[in-house]
């Protein structure tokens, strides 16, 4: 027999209340018996959390290898349980301004909750404590089990509130007038950012990014917060990443006037110089709103935007002329065009190599067809030239590839070293 008890804890003792039982048939090794029993809870139970205990072999009719594992406990919550099941509203605001908050207070317990109050607090964290500022409250009607009450409340933030991120903490049954099955789950919260928030909403760079040259940086600095922002400075940096840090090089800055909250913006430009000793490579120009950090903002992590900048020469294969089809073992003429699409001259000569491959990836198994020397190329300049190549003998007819690689000996320092090859399909016919 399995016996059921109501208990104040998870341990079975003489003070527990029997609720009922069910008969269990004889069970072979590993067998189970599943059954349901309807029990009635005492009418005078106090609100709170109790436990339903199930005791197997409650009459001790079976001799068992272990007699200490016959009881299992399941928590039963008695009475109402008020929670804030949803809260949302204004995400940004100004000091002394209005915040609109919509909350849903729900009775997730098993008993009816009497009328209560839901209260709103301003906090610097998500935990409700004595240091938080009460902003207002609303009345909540009696709620049957599973019922909810939703309402939008208009709250006024304290004047003179410093810019930053705050929390509206919402507490159900704030006056503790409703006895509940759980008193530790009455609080929820939403985030509100107070004050200005400067960002760079657009950024462009015009001019040849060559070492020692000047470029024009144009940005739009915007206040996406609610509070007004005083005059500030937007700063420009040269960086190897899109993340701003202390290693980035300051190129220049521009002054930004006071910006009204809720979208005030100002566009402007500055002429800055790429340092003469900048090595070829891929860089970023970073625009940092409030670069000197003189403006208190709701968020200090949204001030940076980046635009890519490649400094130096950049050799690529811009075209390859070849026959539509070839014969295994035949001689063909291949003409490539090597171009410097970078911003600076390629000061050294280079070598363009041509390979025969069964796929589009250049690897050690590919056959070298020939090469040609490419002169030093100014920015935007090109060099075209033919290579007479012998197609490998003994090939099975099908599709193969001519792969052209510029600067095959890596004699030219480039802004990008990963775009030096081009693969073009070629059909090999039978003899």
Q: What is the DSSP string of 245-264?
A: -TTSEEEEEEEE--B-TTT-
Q: Please tell me the predicted confidence (pLDDT) of residue 430.
A: 77
Q: What is the pLDDT of residues 363-407, one digit of tens each?
A: 999 999 999 999 999 999 999 999 999 999 999 999 999 999 999
The average pLDDT across 397-425 equals: 96
pLDDT at 66: 86
**For position 77, what pLDDT does the model report?**
74
Q: Is pLDDT at 43 greater than 80 in this prediction?
A: no
Pick the closest to residue 357 from 313, 310, 391 (CA basis). 391
Containing H/E element for 272?
strand 265-273
User: pLDDT tens digit string along 124-165?
Assistant: 999 999 999 999 999 999 999 999 999 999 999 999 999 989
Q: Which CATH superfamily is domain 315-429 in?
A: Immunoglobulins (2.60.40.10)
What local confidence, expressed as pLDDT, does residue 20 receive? 82
Question: In whole angstroms, how far apart are CA 216 and each of 43, 222, 280?
Answer: 81, 20, 20
pLDDT tens digits, 335-363 = 999 999 998 999 899 999 999 999 999 99
- β-pairing verdict for 164-171 and 187-194: antiparallel
Question: What's the whole-number mean pLDDT along residues 98-117?
Answer: 96
Residue 90 has pLDDT above 90, yes or no: no
Query: Residue 3 forms beta bridges with which residues?
Result: 21, 55
Cα–Cα distance between 67 and 69 in angstroms, integer? Answer: 6
CA distance between the termini of the chain: 91
Give the residue from 130, 128, 141 showing the smallest Cα distance to 184.
Answer: 128
> Residues with Cβ < 8 Å from 26, sequence gap 6 or more?
none
pLDDT digits (tens, 9 = 90+) for 195-243: 999 999 999 999 989 999 999 999 999 999 988 999 999 999 999 999 9
Same-fold call for 82-194 versus 315-429: yes
* H helix and E strand count, the chain: 0, 27
> For a pLDDT cut of 90, what percent of the chain falls above it?
77
3-state helix, strand, coil in the chain (%, to 5): 0, 50, 50
Question: What is the predicted pLDDT for the residue at 422?
Answer: 97
pLDDT of residue 384: 98
The confidence score (pLDDT) of residue 37 equals: 87
| Gap between the Cα atoms of 62 and 67, Å rounded | 10
Rounded to whole angstroms, the Cα distance separating 30 from 90 reads: 59
CA 71 to chain centre: 47
Q: Which CATH class is domain 198-311?
A: mainly beta
CATH T-level fold of 82-194: Immunoglobulin-like (2.60.40)
Q: Check residue 70 and give its pLDDT.
A: 87
At residue 53, the pLDDT reads 81
Please report, for the chain, the start and end positions of each structural domain, with discontinuous segments joined by +: 2-78, 82-194, 198-311, 315-429
Q: Measured between alpha carbons, how far is 9 from 232 in angstroms, rounded to an integer?
A: 63
Question: What does the pLDDT look like over 244-293, one tens digit per residue?
Answer: 999 999 999 999 999 999 899 999 999 999 999 999 999 999 999 999 99
Residues 360, 365, 367, 371: what is their CA dihedral angle, to the nearest 10 degrees?
80
């Amino acid at each position: 027999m399995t016996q059921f008890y109501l208990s104040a804890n998870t341990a079975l003792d003489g003070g527990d209340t029997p609720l009922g039982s069910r008969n269990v048939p004889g069970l072979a090794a590993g067998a189970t018996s599943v059954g349901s029993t309807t029990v009635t809870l005492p009418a005078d139970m106090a609100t709170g959390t109790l436990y339903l205990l199930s005791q197997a072999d409650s009459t001790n009719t079976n001799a068992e290898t272990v007699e200490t594992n016959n009881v299992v406990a399941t928590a039963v919550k008695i009475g109402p349980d008020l929670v804030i099941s949803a809260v949302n509203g204004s995400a940004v605001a100004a000091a002394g301004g209005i915040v609109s908050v919509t909350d849903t207070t729900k009775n997730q317990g098993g008993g009816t909750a009497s009328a209560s109050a839901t209260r709103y607090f301003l906090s610097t964290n998500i935990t409700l404590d004595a240091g938080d500022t009460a902003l207002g409250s609303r009345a909540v009607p009696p709620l049957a089990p599973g019922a909810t009450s939703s309402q939008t409340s208009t709250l006024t933030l304290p004047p003179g509130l410093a810019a930053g991120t705050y929390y509206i903490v919402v507490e159900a049954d704030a006056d503790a007038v409703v006895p509940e099955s759980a008193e530790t789950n009455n609080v929820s919260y939403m985030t509100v950012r107070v004050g200005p928030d400067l960002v760079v909403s657009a950024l462009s760079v015009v001019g040849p990014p060559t070492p020692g040259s000047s470029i024009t940086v144009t940005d739009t600095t915007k206040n996406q917060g609610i509070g007004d922002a005083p005059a500030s400075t937007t700063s420009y940096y040269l960086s190897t990443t899109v993340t701003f840090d202390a290693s980035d090089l300051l190129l220049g800055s521009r002054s930004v006037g006071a910006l009204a909250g809720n979208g005030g913006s100002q566009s402007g430009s500055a002429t800055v110089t790429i340092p003469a000793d900048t090595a070829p490579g891929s860089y970023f120009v970073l625009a940092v709103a409030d670069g000197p950090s003189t403006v208190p903002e709701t968020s200090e992590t949204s001030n940076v935007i980046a635009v890519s900048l490649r400094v130096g020469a950049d050799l690529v294969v811009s075209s390859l002329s070849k026959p539509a089809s070839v014969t295994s073992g035949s001689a063909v003429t291949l003409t490539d065009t090597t171009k410097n699409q970078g911003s600076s001259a390629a000061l050294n000569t280079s070598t363009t190599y041509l390979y025969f491959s069964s796929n589009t990836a250049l690897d050690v198994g590919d056959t070298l067809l020939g090469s040609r020397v490419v002169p030093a190329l100014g920015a935007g300049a090109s060099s075209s030239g033919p290579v007479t190549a012998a197609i490998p003998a003994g090939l099975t007819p099908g599709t193969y590839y001519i792969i052209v690689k510029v600067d095959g000996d890596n004699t030219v320092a480039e802004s990008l070293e990963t775009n030096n090859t081009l693969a073009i399909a070629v059909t090999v016919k039978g003899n």
